[in-house]
Structure 1
Amino acid sequence: MGFAVKKWGALLAAIAGGAIAGPAFAREPYFATIDVVRGSAPPAGTAAGKVFDDANRNGRLDDGEAGVPGVKVSNGRDVVQTAADGSYSLAARDDMSVFVIQPSGWQVPTNRDFIPQFAYQHKPAGSPKRLRFGGLPPTGPLPAAINFPLAPSETGDDFRCAILGDVQATSNMEVGYARDTIVRELENLNDRPACIFALGDLVGDDLGLIPRLADVLGAARIPQWWVQGNHDYDSDADRDADSSDSWRREYGPVTYAFEIGRVLFIGLDNIVYPCGRVDYEAFSRDFCGEDPRKTYNGRFTDDQMRFVENLVKATDPGKLIVLGHHIPLVGFDNREQWQHQTDNAAELYRILKGRKALDLSGHSHTLENLASGDSFAGWKQSVGVDTIPFRHVVAGAVAGDWWGGDFDIAGIPMSLQGDGSPRGYIDMAVRGTDYDLDYRAAGQPVDKAMWLSMSTPEFRDWARVLLAWRNSPAQKRGEVPPLSIQDLPDVRLLTPQDIAGGSWLTANVWMGDSDTVVTVSIDGGAAQRMERTQQARGEPSHVGADFADPFALQHQLAVTRTAIASRSGDPLAQGYIQGRQDRFAPAPPRPQGSAADHSSHLWRFRIPGGLRDGTHSAQVHVERPQGSSTSETMIFETRATRPQPTFRFDAWNAFEDGPRVPEN
């Protein structure tokens, strides 16, 4: 915590002493906890308390502090609204989170890591068995009152929210990568977002990293609302009801909601782990019923569906509803993999029918911006969905390709994702109930929005060979790949043979969707439409070298980090370390795990014949209805023959320098 703790600690001391009051600290952090009153229990079978205006910001319901009426409170299924005096009463459940839904115009307090404090965990006997990461200790009977403090918020109807896909820190080394990428970039913003909405897989199985990661992300000084992912649960739990216990202890509820301006955000854990009878019988998920090993399934529970239904009914119909969960409802990359889409997506669509909505998810480590009406083969068979009724966004990953690939200039793994997009986050700019979505690539200029490259016949041949080697059995293919990046000629230098064989200018527009228009102007000529490689009209996706992003594949198919070695004697300093693996032994450069041989946001334009011999410019312009327009220029050459790429020793050695001539 360091500087932030000292700074805000001094501020709190000033507030407590009366030196600062009212609007003077309205923009400062609001550090407090909820007010849990022990003593006589509420009436049997109920949880009760008050939502109040915490005038002195100490988190306690003090004499003279007024209740706030009309605020929604929930037990994860039922939703009630506070009475005129701010009081509420909810049905008690044996295992539940009781939480307030932050109302527009107000803010809940946070802890010093800027984790919102808005919920009480109730599990009287605690976790039923000892869990690897501690689980949830017994909470005992319900307290006499659970009071939720609020303070006025100056955030209005126009604000920004940072949407984070998988941070996926599997080690302390990778927590450091998150610190030096997403936290640095958010901290350097002049216009600080009103929220962080993190869509699951904050860590990578080691839940003991949550406190440090929360502290590191908290350095951005933005309230951070987290959603649980499939690498955030207690994998040694025996029931889904217990698999979030350590998460609940460290972070908070796995089902919740909060409002900012005219937007209702709903956070949902759609990971059922371990999945079982319901998944097997109701949704025919054989991997949940026949395989003796524990695994997960993408599904909302009945309680979650009722919570969403009750919450939507109690919400102003004019508000934008933003859903956040880990596994996509449906997606492009995992379009035919049942486990990686959400079984009851169609029921959720029914609940939200007629509402203005946006769906956000993570999980696939790809960036996908799917517009209303989009469709891909596989959705109908997997979850019974033909087309989507509102925008779905898979938000990419802060970790990119699981912190893989070669190191960039900052010493962070380049980690290009499976669709070719860089690691980063989505900047959601809200204006009332309208919004723009722009992707902020880590380490890149703020307006950078695409990769430009060239798909030549030689590139495609090179990619086919390496993709085949990558996909072949490791024990048969040998240690040294058949080709390396040095076998690939300069793709931005085209010969007549390259053009005749089909050379395509490619634009990987990271947030491109079905409504995006991409044009190119060659040498200042008339703008011409580029062709999207995926149409999203119910077809199977196009995969392979012909539909690949050449920019990304050149980095992904020849990772040199695998060859790093030393004589230090430290085994962890040798070879390639990523994720849960101890290490990969030093080996020649080779392909990484993800390869951009398909993408939902790749456009191409065939280079025409007849271009003069020489250097040319291609200006690509992008227009998106819900995001910034942008342009970028690529320089390429056309030459009658391909020149020698390396130093021309033959020309150099044809002449001698001769001896030095004495000066007069």
Structure 2
Amino acid sequence: MLSFPSRKHSSLRVALTALTTLAVAAAVATFPTPSTATPHSAPEDWDDSAYRGRIEVVRTSEGPADPAFLTGTVFVDQDRDSESDRGERGLAGVTVSNGRDVVTTDRQGRYRLPAYDNMTVFITQPSGYQVPVDESNVAQFHYNHLPEGSPELRYGGIAPTGALPDAVNFPVVRSQLTRAQEQHCVIAGDLQTYDRTEVEYARRGAIADLAERRDNQGCGTLFIGDVVGDDLSLYPDVKELTSLTNGPARFLPGNHDLDFDATTAEHSFDTFRAQLAPAYYSYDIGDVHVVALNTVRYPCTPDVDNADGRRPECDDPENAPRYNGRLDEHQLAWLERDLAAVDDDTLVVVAGHIPLLTFADEGSAIHQVDQVREVYDLLEGRRAVSVAGHTHSIENMRTGDLVQGWNDLFGVEGLPFPHITAGAISGDWYSGEVTDDGYPTAIGRDGGRPGLLTLDIRGNAFRERYTVTGESDRVGTRLGLNSPTYRDWYAERQEWNDAPDGAAPELGDPLVVSRDDLAGQTWLTTNFWMGSTGSTVRVRIDDGPSRPATRTQPMRGEDQLIGPEWSDPHAVAQQLVHGGSVADRTMHLWRLELPEDLDAGRHRAVVTATDAYGRRFTDVLTFRVVEQR
């Protein structure tokens, strides 16, 4: 299926929230989904079954036999004490890496790796086994080696580790949860808390949703970067949040997880590495291999990052340091070696913070990954899917999709496998009015709502699913009316926001259209957040026939379509009033022009959005036609 071709309340609130009713989805019965696979139940309580522990670091007065190499064992920890006791067997065939070299353990579970002064050694969790988690559910599978510790950094970095240990041993336990062919992998984008107020927003929002889930105990939750918003002292608060969830928590770094006072890329994620995880790594679940990449290079430099002149932001790292989407040479070499140890028919999930490619920033080189073509070459012939964050938008892009910037910047002529931008827990950076539930609406730049992505997996096939914060999986769309009155207000309100003078322009009732609106072209819009190529949207007005809506952004090589005509009116009506980004473009908006001859009075539109798998989401919009405003 996936092989190559390879953010306080206002007078508008009642009207705005009336734009849509609860959507009802019909799931395809042959694939694991909340409707069919009871993923919200599990055989055991996570707190009772979780393997809690740590890696074992062995030091003696003699030191290692050969300080040029790190050795150790991957062992099955039968008594769960995190110590390699006599009689506990080593586990053969486990992948171990120092971030450059990749080896597999021998029949006794032993490994031997070259030692470097700054390295993180980690194992790839094998299917059927679980690495330990700490009391915060953070997976423990790596050891940082930095003898003198980090240079002086505001948030501490890595404390001196001293000389190379005699051995670093990695404990695992058997796990039916990680062996199962059916998995539900949560991909959590951009938690990005800048302070403890926002930590509380996250707790009341998406983390509360995660705390209720039981379907992801095997695969866990992967937080794909921007775990915090520049203040790395909030990492303990984040770990307190993950302690509320069920299943392992893993992290990869984003551009707001940086040690910004690091002068070289070598130490730019030292605090992240000390607190959370390696900068990059992999793990296996069922028939899935997850590769968690570090796609952020900071500070970027003109010689490495702007050799082709497309990233001028990188030209003054001393006075104006910036980041760039890039894999360093060691990581790229590691990726090649890591994939070489993976069976060809395994589903590869490539996760990064900055996306390999993205619709939202399709014309920006620094917000996509320089070596996207090299990554595609390494994955050629494999079943694969890319998941990413960074853009605070939801993008479900399928094989063959294309926008102009990808071709102009990277020579890409179509996606070789699906790429999904996972949305964000923070949504539009916790902006907008605060809901009664205690977290902001935070509607995104694409009109998307904050939430979580799940990959529902069976064997080496997957289906993506997006769950809006505080909602059920059946909520997948938002409806609106894009009329000339709305478009005029859009321009007036945007101008007033830039230079407030007098009373702010008011939109009025967004569910009322005049006869002039209809004559001047009014569309009923459907923002289908996980809509993609292969999805359809049909609209039935009153007792009339069901008619197909048209996708505004076909993803067939065109440039972005931007402006009020292409915007999500429901989102913009809130964003221009309450703050945040403006949803003036999106790759998942469908629209149907309303007939000019609609009778005056109330009308009811029933919208059925069907995704590429045949799952249906039904939404209803009631609006009124008046002769004049």
Q: What is the TM-score normalised by the length of structure 1?
A: 0.84
Would you say the 8 A contact 2:394–2:422 is kept in 1? yes
Equivalent residue, structure 2, for 1:134 = 156
Post-superposition Cα deviations, 1:549-593, rounded to whole Å, max 9, x if no partner, equal 01101110111xxxxxxxxxxxxxxxxxxxxxxxxxxxxxxxx23
Post-superposition Cα deviations, 1:210-268, rounded to whole Å, max 9, x if no partner, equal 01111112211321110100010100001100111111111121110111001111111
Q: Structure 1 CA distance, aligned partners of 2:217 and 2:520?
A: 48
**Larger RCO (alpha carbons 8 Å, 6+ apart):** 2
Equivalent residue, structure 1, for 2:23 = none
Equivalent residue, structure 1, for 2:205 = 181
Alignment of 1:91-130 (within 5 A): 91-127=114-150, 129-130=151-152
Of 191, 201, 209, which aligns to 1:167?
Answer: 191
Q: Structure 1 CA distance, aligned partners of 2:64 and 2:501?
A: 68
Of 415, 440, 455, which aligns to 2:482?
Answer: 455
1:285 aligns with 2:308: no
Alignment of 1:6-405 (within 5 A): 28-39=49-60, 40-127=63-150, 129-155=151-177, 156-194=180-218, 195-276=220-301, 277-281=303-307, 284-290=310-316, 292-405=319-432
Alignment of 1:619-634 (within 5 A): 619-626=606-613, 628-634=615-621
Equivalent residue, structure 2, for 1:613 = 600
May I ask how many residue pairs the two structures share in their alignment? Answer: 579
Query: Deviation of residue 447 (structure 1)?
Result: 1.1
Secondary structure in structure 1 of the residue aligned to 2:485: helix
Distance 1:268 1:283, change over 3 A: farther
Q: Structure 1 CA distance, aligned partners of 2:526 and 2:601?
A: 22
Post-superposition Cα deviations, 1:624-654, rounded to whole Å, max 9, x if no partner, equal 1258421111122223344xxxxxxxxxxxx
Equivalent residue, structure 1, for 2:38 = none
Q: Structure 2 CA distance, aligned partners of 1:24 and 1:300?
A: 39
User: Which residue type is aligned with residue 76 of structure 2?
Assistant: D
Secondary structure in structure 2 of the residue aligned to 1:558: helix
Post-superposition Cα deviations, 1:420-469, rounded to whole Å, max 9, x if no partner, equal 11111112211111112121111233311011111111011101222344
Would you say the 8 A contact 1:466–1:481 is kept in 2? no
Of 425, 442, 445, which aligns to 1:418?
Answer: 445
Query: Deviation of residue 411 (structure 1)?
Result: 2.5
Distance 1:511 1:144, change over 3 A: same
Post-superposition Cα deviations, 1:143-175, rounded to whole Å, max 9, x if no partner, equal 111111111112201011111110000101111
Post-superposition Cα deviations, 1:3-25, rounded to whole Å, max 9, x if no partner, equal xxxxxxxxxxxxxxxxxxxx999
Distance 1:103 1:481, change over 3 A: farther
Secondary structure in structure 1 of the residue aligned to 2:172: strand
1:494 aligns with 2:505: no
Structure 1: gaps (5+ residues): 1-22, 560-591, 643-664
Secondary structure in structure 2 of the residue aligned to 1:557: helix
Q: What is the TM-score normalised by the length of structure 2?
A: 0.89
Of 557, 561, 565, which aligns to 1:546?
Answer: 565
Q: Pairwise CA RMSD of aligned residues?
A: 1.8
Post-superposition Cα deviations, 1:497-528, rounded to whole Å, max 9, x if no partner, equal 22111111000001111121111122243322
Post-superposition Cα deviations, 1:125-154, rounded to whole Å, max 9, x if no partner, equal 111x21100111111221111111111112
Query: Deviation of residue 123 (structure 1)?
Result: 1.1
Distance 1:384 1:27, change over 3 A: farther
Secondary structure in structure 1 of the residue aligned to 2:366: helix
User: Which residue type is aligned with residue 147 of structure 1?
Assistant: N
Q: Structure 1 CA distance, aligned partners of 2:504 and 2:413?
A: 42
Would you say the 8 A contact 1:505–1:607 is kept in 2? yes
User: Which residue type is aligned with residue 153 of structure 2?
Assistant: L
Would you say the 8 A contact 1:76–1:304 is kept in 2? yes
Post-superposition Cα deviations, 1:354-395, rounded to whole Å, max 9, x if no partner, equal 111110111111111111111111223333323221111111
Secondary structure in structure 1 of the residue aligned to 2:307: helix
Distance 1:598 1:138, change over 3 A: same
Q: Percent identity?
A: 37
Query: Deviation of residue 50 (structure 1)?
Result: 0.7
Q: Structure 2 CA distance, aligned partners of 1:443 and 1:509?
A: 18
Q: Structure 2 CA distance, aligned partners of 1:517 and 1:441?
A: 20
